[in-house]
Every structure is written in C-alpha cells, then in structure tokens.
Amino acid sequence: MRPSTLGKQAYKELYGKEPKHKIIVSYHARFSDYNANIRMSAREIKFNLSRKFEKCEPEIQKGVMQFLLNRMKKTKIQSDNIDLYNTFIKKMSDFAPVTETEDVLEESFWRVNETYFHGMMSLPNLKWGNRSRALLGTYTYATDFIMISRILEDAPVEVLDSVMYHEMLHKKHKFSCKAGRTHSHTPAFKKDEARFKPKNIEQILHRFLRGQKARPAKKSFVSRVMGWD
Ligand SMILES: [Zn+2]
C-alpha cells in the first residue's frame, strides 16, 4: 500500500469521513528512534515518520498517525490502532538493548535504584543531553533511554538524583491511555514521586538552576511522541 493511502485510511477511520486536505506521508532517516510529527497547511496534512516505522505493520503506522491527528486537532477519539501503537511502544522498552552509559549518571541510577526500587530496576541507556534548563530530563520508551540535561552535571547529588528518579518513574509506570490520549504523570506516578527525600527538593533544584547559565531552548515544531519530560 502506498504511504499516502495509509495516511488517508488513518484519517478516514478516525473521523469517519474523507480528509479535505491532501495527505502526505514521508519517512525520514534523520529522525531518531520512533519519532514522528505532523504538519498542516491550507491544503496539506503531512506526516513525517521515522524510517523505523516503514518496517512496522500498517496498523501500527496508522496508530501513530491517528495519535498525531488527535493531538493536532485536539480531538480525543479512541481507536484500536492507537491502542496497538501504544502497546507496541511499551513493549519496545522491555526489549531495547542497553548500549550507552555514562559514569556519573550510572552512579546516580544505582543510588536511586537502591533507595527507591529495592535495586530491582534494570539499567536503561543513559546519556547527557543539551545544557537545557527547560528540559531537565526525558525518558524514551522505545529505546529505554534516560537523557539528563548537562546543566545538572555540577548539581548537588540530590538534585541530579531527583531528576533521575522522575525519569526512572516513567520507566516504571510507562503510560496509560484514556480517550485516545496518553497520560504519563498519572496520580500513581505523582504519589511515587512524592516519596523523594529531601521533601524540599523543588526549592533546592530551583535555587541551583537560578545560578546556572543555560542556552536558550531552540524552538522546534517537532512534536515528540516518544519521550516525555
Ligand atoms: Zn515526567
């Protein structure tokens, strides 16, 4: 099936009518992991998908496209394909190979693992990200990757550990799906997060960040569907 036909089907099955826009689907090697985004102009809706999706079942591809449509059009329509896509992403993290690590981050991971997870969590991939103040960490489900902002390189241990803990909770809780949307900061997640000590970690974190120079965050139209902050 042609990719654009797949895109049209995704639209039609979600909204129950033909799209008024021309649908374009293209695959990109430059997208890491299973990233994807959507753009709409007056005449076109364009899906840009990571090349990795090209080898996935059409049903999963339709799922990611419907997920993106819901997000762009602010609709909350459920579909089997979206469920399938979400299940696929969750499963991916269980089988992702661990190939990257970094000493300081790994030390933090084991400290947090011992203190809050009885040492039971398996080691994910770990790396430093850009020196961002706005995005302190991300967890990418498909590749089981925790990325921590380099701005925390010189942070007090408890500050680094608190961000590590937050990302590890994403690995533990994954995400839930309701009304066609995914939720990652669920009540259960927040309850777990509140276990972190010291209790005034937010204040310590903000005090630390105020003293740090950060590069201004780049504006990006790429909506990341795979990682959550
Ligand atoms: Zn989060």
Q: Over the stretch 115-161, which tens digit does the pLDDT of each residue have?
A: 999 999 999 999 999 999 889 999 988 889 999 999 999 999 999 99
What CATH number does residue 40 fall under?
3.30.2010
Flag whether 193 is in a domain.
yes
Q: What is the dihedral sign for C-alpha 83, 92, 189, 75?
A: negative
For residue 163, report the distance from its CA to the centre of ligand 1, in Å.
Answer: 9
Q: Measure 44 CA to ligand 1 centroid, in angstroms.
A: 33
CA of 37 to the centre of ligand 1 (A): 20
Q: Are residues 151 and 221 in the same domain?
A: yes
* d(CA 211, ligand 1 centre) in Å: 23
Asked if pLDDT for residue 178 goes beyond 80, the answer is no
Mean pLDDT of all residues in the chain? 89
Q: For 179-220, write each residue's pLDDT tens digit.
A: 666 788 999 999 999 999 999 999 999 999 998 876 555 443
Q: Give domain status of residue 91, yes or no.
A: no
Query: Can you tell me the mean pLDDT for 53-69?
Result: 93
Does residue 60 form part of some domain?
Answer: yes
Same domain, 205 and 147: yes
With cut-offs at 50, 70 and 90, classify the pLDDT of residue 90: confident
Does the pLDDT of residue 34 top 70, yes or no?
A: yes
Residue 49 belongs to domain spanning = 3-74
- Let me know if residue 152 belongs to a domain: yes
Q: How far is the CA of 39 from the centre of ligand 1 (A)?
A: 25
**What does the pLDDT average to over 74-90?**
92
What is the DSSP code string of 90-124? HHHHHH-------HHHHHHHHHHHHHHHTT-SPP-
Q: How far is the CA of 228 from the centre of ligand 1 (A)?
A: 6
Q: Total structural domains in the chain?
A: 2
Q: Is residue 92 part of a domain?
A: no
pTM passes above 0.75 = no
Per-residue exposure over 64-76, b if at least 16 CB sit within 10 Å of its own CB, e if not: bbbbbbbbeeeee
> Do both 57 and 113 map to the same domain?
no
Residue 146 and residue 45 share a domain: no
